[in-house]
Structure 1
């Protein structure tokens, strides 16, 4: 029995009514015909790039039709059938691929790098792995809301080599999340064959390591895909759990068209051509007597007309306009900030207590707020900030996580997509490097790309001066101030910490919230007992002066206060930035105009710190006010050492008084 006969026999084994069979046929044919047209347009230069899914259509179509229309799907490059089976208007898809405004990203991203809440589709980013953890977050939101829904996420066999794959599956398994992890195993990661990607026989076998159920499905058999996934999805709705599904399939064209397929043996291409999911299903329907020549032509004509009409509509659509105001204002989701003022009752608290109270009051205020991190539940976090929270808010909202910063940031993004707010505690700010990719490439760009806010706050216990050494002492805010789409907040006082944290949580944009560990139990202040907010992007003039403008933030604010208390005759205007992005340029400019001299102080290393950018701004915008060169004071350009004498030598604090005195004398 040859390959085609084997597939035909497999198709015969499924008992579906004629209406369903013909529906599946039309849906699997549509992406094939669209792709064939797109390949022509690609050669004509009317689209810039194409990732062909020819040969894999049955997977995307079968899965999409097996799920409910209000269940999220996170597809990949070659899953056009997801978009067409969700019945997205073709003109919008074609506009997207031509970078026009009727698409989904205003011309800011291409191909399938977009999402749409209207159709419950969340597109991938080129880094592939992060969308797996995002699916965890979407599914977690459903679970928290007691909604019996499934989330499906795609990856390729190559993507299973990424750490995000392991992290996402592990989190989903530990938390019993209703996620279908779908691997399209088409034999090649670009040109790298599976023999060079992994050593297990089947990727589905990896599920055992996570205590997870798995299935292997013939990805070229539309009936097997549709029926098995319908059964699995319903089972997951009834008993929440993750399932790993490996689809055996093949792509008949290159990773993208420019790649070609020269690396694929001709015999292999020929073998899989005989297993074409569209032509074999068509033959089966003809043999079954359901698809007559007349009906076939009717369906073909209908799809052809849809494609041509959509293309004609897009052809008359003007190119996307390059409007500077729109571009700059779409980096962040709009925030209508209304300052909430507290009552008169106050209490003396430490910096760490202000953070704790701010978190508790926000959790009380927002029932959809979830806090996640390592050891944050019963243990209360390594700094005991969340101690008692799990008793008050429950383990569903105060969630201990595995050690997997990347997947938890991604989970937070998924929660935001599905109507929740999330706080992620990095145990130490240094550990954020393990979650760097989803922060700078997913959270930061999500709203700009397709209008989806990333309602996530990442708490960052940071800073030196506590003898913690190179891996627990960094103040790494400059890693993030460079990335458009992230807000960065860095308070120095309990009052500011509480009010800014509340505002950061209310803000629907991603916020990196830095908390200096050395301030936790050393700085106290009288602050309001009630909930209140302070605006992000507004600096504080801690002390007025006329001779020097000293600009800083975080722990160095207190270094400066200590020095100035010993030198009452120095007329220094001390500005605490509080917020690094957005930055309060107006307060900076007004102070420089007043004093004519500037000293910028940071605990960070000198090269590449945010003080360099502020210095450049002052040089460009305030030059005529200056009576002396702009001076910067920073820590040594080395990692943070452990021994006290070495750490004291490292920190800029030891040179502060001398730097102020020298600038006063200039």
Structure 2
């Protein structure tokens, strides 16, 4: 805390050439959130709101930054940035309704406080994991750079958030790509109760900009004139010369992390020091002392704001509670997607799975000029599997972008692109590496449409699977990590024809899609595939063979295990269903088949417990029990990590166990 507690308490205001109206506008913009907060603290004690993250003492930052930006420029605030929302002119009753979980809010009662965004006001709200916020700003900034619209994006974090990996990933990406983003650190002294000297060991957080080749500045966060003047000039400069800038605002949190936390951990002399630097009271005194505003004018402003706050609070409070509507809840998990079939032409050519994926991606790049591909080594090198080979020459470096090794930051950037009206395809070099980007996929992309109606137009390509002797870190088939997360779609084709058509649909779909591509099938499976662009419906399984004895359900490489065994046992009359899409599932096709055959076996490459086959087995038991002539059987890999040695891998996979289990079930 030394760098804070030794600062001089007085604030020195320099009006420069700003008019009286501008100075008064800054004051009013700080006064309004302060008065709202004071009312909220009373209402919190009365139990009329459930939680409050106070920004008292930090209003100068929110107001100064927001006023320095144009209204059409995106800003990404945090817990304590009420001044961002009020300065952008959001009607107060909508904010109050949000905090009460009412329909006039921004999340239909599905999220609380400041966990929301609104395209109407160009604000993107935070998630509690904090870090992805920075990557989103990178994606929005990239969109602005591609549009060449000379716009700036500002994103907030606290000093605590700067310890997260996403912060460093975002700064690095922004620096490498020259993105027009203002990274704003509100250094307010404590991360909940942890003081800054236990959070980082550098004198100033702004110094971290040096390591990333980023310009940085330290600003007195309690001096609204300094905040506004510095940020306004920087935004003017960035619009002419796009680049990222890191800003550290020195300020203090005068109340608890959230109100229930209290401030007992804060030394009283430190609290007194910062109370003397109150940004609102000091600025008000300056305006009165210099005759810019009178005591009477100030009282009138307070009265006007109080009336506005009370009127809007009454309006929000009198609004009825949200009606519980099951169809609406389920219907809002995904953004609306009206699939329009584009049938393939008659002309075909033989393609390997890898060629079909590459061709499908290429066709989509031609079809959607707002589609950007991002991933490690995908540009000049063409990707480790050469799927994007030649794309750089054809589509240019703006749309085919090598990324640093930072999966989380790039997934968040993909979401930011979506917010800024672009489509994004992200290649995980190996599906295993997606664990480094897991948080923004399951907590950001998946929940976005449900939370505030913002689609996540992002496809994540997932090269996966065994059979290539790549060991525990390059051979996983980890689809079950995502099939249980509402809001995600999961596609897993086994054939070139399906891969090309479903990839087109995945890119058309405004929802986040995990697109699994089995590495062992890349160059081993061939098929006649239509030339040109076509698509296939997501969520529709493929009936590969028809029979009456048994239903065999599979996907990915395991489909080929099934076909191989059935070629060996021609006497088996089986319905063979290739799921193709794991989320959503084609349950109708599954149930109809099981009710016809009476027996079912599920085959997956993934290990057994918690896998896709387990859920399908449960669904069949619940919906087809009376039609079953035998227990539902599952075949899967061992409950171990996937090994490297070929003999160990053969033992690990369920491929060799499938034949025995199939024949035994037929005899049941």
The aligned counterpart of 1:76 is 78
The aligned counterpart of 1:379 is 381
Q: Is the 8 A contact 1:51 1:77 kept in 2?
A: yes
Alpha-carbon offset, residue 12 of structure 1 = 3.8
User: What's the secondary structure of 2:51's corresponding residue?
Assistant: coil
1:275-305 deviation per Cα after TM superposition (whole angstroms, max 9, x unaligned): 0000000000000101112211111111011
Alpha-carbon offset, residue 398 of structure 1 = 0.3
Q: Specify which of 176, 179, 182 is matched with residue 177 of structure 1.
A: 179
Alpha-carbon offset, residue 653 of structure 1 = 0.3
Distance 1:169 1:79 in 2: 21
Q: Is the 8 A contact 2:218 2:247 kept in 1?
A: yes
Distance 2:94 2:407 in 1: 36
Q: Is the 8 A contact 1:116 1:450 kept in 2?
A: yes
Matches of residues 454-603 of structure 1 in structure 2 within 5 Å?
454-603=456-605
User: What's the secondary structure of 1:122's corresponding residue?
Assistant: coil
Alpha-carbon offset, residue 445 of structure 1 = 0.2
The aligned counterpart of 2:323 is 321
Q: Is the 8 A contact 1:426 1:432 kept in 2?
A: yes
Q: Is the 8 A contact 2:179 2:244 kept in 1?
A: yes
Distance 1:9 1:533 in 2: 63
Q: Is the 8 A contact 2:66 2:84 kept in 1?
A: yes
Q: Is the 8 A contact 1:8 1:284 kept in 2?
A: no
Q: Is the 8 A contact 2:11 2:282 kept in 1?
A: no
TM-score normalised to structure 2 length? 0.99
1:437-465 deviation per Cα after TM superposition (whole angstroms, max 9, x unaligned): 00000000000000000000000000001
Distance 1:9 1:644 in 2: 70
Distance 2:18 2:358 in 1: 58
Q: Specify which of 293, 296, 309 is matched with residue 294 of structure 1.
A: 296
Unaligned runs of 5+ in 1: none
Q: Which runs of 4+ in 1 moved over 4 A?
A: 5-9
The aligned counterpart of 2:277 is 275
Q: Specify which of 625, 628, 635 is matched with residue 630 of structure 2.
A: 628
Q: Is the 8 A contact 1:447 1:453 kept in 2?
A: yes
Matches of residues 1-12 of structure 1 in structure 2 within 5 Å?
10-12=12-14
Alpha-carbon offset, residue 6 of structure 1 = 6.5
1:523-558 deviation per Cα after TM superposition (whole angstroms, max 9, x unaligned): 000010020000000000001111110101000000
Unaligned runs of 5+ in 2: none
Distance 1:567 1:443 in 2: 45
User: What's the secondary structure of 2:299's corresponding residue?
Assistant: helix
User: What's the secondary structure of 1:11's corresponding residue?
Assistant: coil
Distance 1:306 1:549 in 2: 66
Distance 2:488 2:30 in 1: 40
The aligned counterpart of 2:214 is 212
Q: Is the 8 A contact 1:66 1:229 kept in 2?
A: yes
The aligned counterpart of 1:129 is 131
Alpha-carbon offset, residue 316 of structure 1 = 1.4
2:643 is the counterpart of 1:641: yes
Distance 1:258 1:415 in 2: 37
The aligned counterpart of 1:652 is 654
The aligned counterpart of 1:23 is 25
The aligned counterpart of 2:620 is 618
1:559-583 deviation per Cα after TM superposition (whole angstroms, max 9, x unaligned): 1101101111111110000000000
User: What's the secondary structure of 1:503's corresponding residue?
Assistant: helix
Q: Is the 8 A contact 1:51 1:257 kept in 2?
A: yes
TM-score normalised to structure 1 length? 0.99
The aligned counterpart of 2:234 is 232
